[in-house]
Amino acid sequence: MILNIQKMVETAPALKIAIDGPAGAGKSTVARLAAKKLGYLYLDTGAMYRAATVLALRKGLSMEEPEEIAQAVAHAKIDLVHETGADGSPLLKVFLDGEDITFEIRSREVSLLVSPLSTIGPVRDSLVEQQRRLSEEGGVVLDGRDIGTVVLPNAEVKVFLTASAAERAKRRMKDFETRGENVSFDTVLKEIVERDKRDSTREIAPLKKAADAHEVVTDGMTVTEVVEKILEFCSHARAHERSRRELI
């Protein structure tokens, strides 16, 4: 796979920030905003697995054909392009071989298939390689399931973002409604719980809190409050890094 990512701003070498957590915890919203505040590059790794799922669907490949899917992913071109919305909010557009698939990657169909696809080892290998390459210089915020544990085990800031399953299902139901896909609360809740279970129990790179991650439970917290918390962790990490360098 060739992954191109267009930087929103030029970044100086700086911290690596890993944000992991279960489905619907609000990772992508807060990761995108924190990256904007810091002038960092934001990498939505879930969007990469979702783009790979769209690719498999387009090619008519079933999840029982892991080698064919891995081959297709290795040869695909995925672009993540940062744009600014009319209201000044940061947007991330996703292109597959030049076609804008930003809307499609969030469909329910893709949400149901992405988790089985992401258990395919060679697919993970090629995506993780791209994620590490883009993070080499620091000044990055990555969100996903395995960032603090596998992709960037040396990240200076690790956050494990979570919320009760009911809260996450409520948020996800709203997202589907906005898209015009009406699904009952019970169905969304069941699908979220199933996806979390599959993500946490898979053999390769399961979803789990890194030992050195800060856990943030976001029930009842606003997006701004969560972003501020992450920025606080970053200030501490920077101060820690400065004093460590002074000691050398």
Give long-range contacts, CB 8 A cutoff, 24+ apart: 34-39. Answer: 34/141, 34/227, 34/230, 34/231, 34/234, 35/8, 35/90, 35/140, 35/141, 36/8, 36/90, 37/227, 37/231, 38/14, 38/139, 38/141, 38/231, 38/234, 39/9, 39/11, 39/139
Comparing CB distances to ligand CDP, the nearer of 9 and 91 is 91
Q: Using the minimum distance from each CB to ligand CDP, give the nearer residue, 115 or 218.
A: 115
For residues 27-56, which are near ligand CDP according to CB under 6 A? 27-28, 45-46, 49-50
Cβ proximity to ligand CDP: between 93 and 244 the closer is: 93
Closest CA to 35 of 6, 11, 3: 11
126 CB neighbour count, 10 Å cutoff: 18
Among 82, 145, 158, 229, binds ligand CDP (CB under 6 A): 145
The answer to whether 243 and 49 have CB atoms below 8 angstroms apart is no
Of 44 and 156, the one with the shorter C-beta distance to ligand CDP is: 44
The only residue of 107, 115, 149, 218 in contact with ligand CDP, by rule CB under 6 A: 115
The interface with ligand CDP within residues 168-207 (CB under 6 A) comprises: 195, 199
Length of the chain: 248
CB 101, min distance to ligand CDP, A: 13
Looking at beta carbons only, is 14 or 204 nearer to ligand CDP?
Answer: 204
CA–CA distance, 56 with 164 (Å, rounded to integer): 31
Count of positions on this chain that bind ligand CDP (CB under 6 A) = 16
Measured from the CB atom, is 90 or 238 closer to ligand CDP? 90
Q: Which of 102, 83, 106, 94 is nearest to 36 (CA)?
A: 83
- Asked whether position 148 contacts ligand CDP by CB under 6 A, the answer is no
Q: How far is the CB of 18 from ligand CDP (least distance, A)?
A: 10
Positions in the binding site for ligand CDP (CB under 6 A):
23-24, 27-28, 45-46, 49-50, 114-115, 118, 144-146, 195, 199
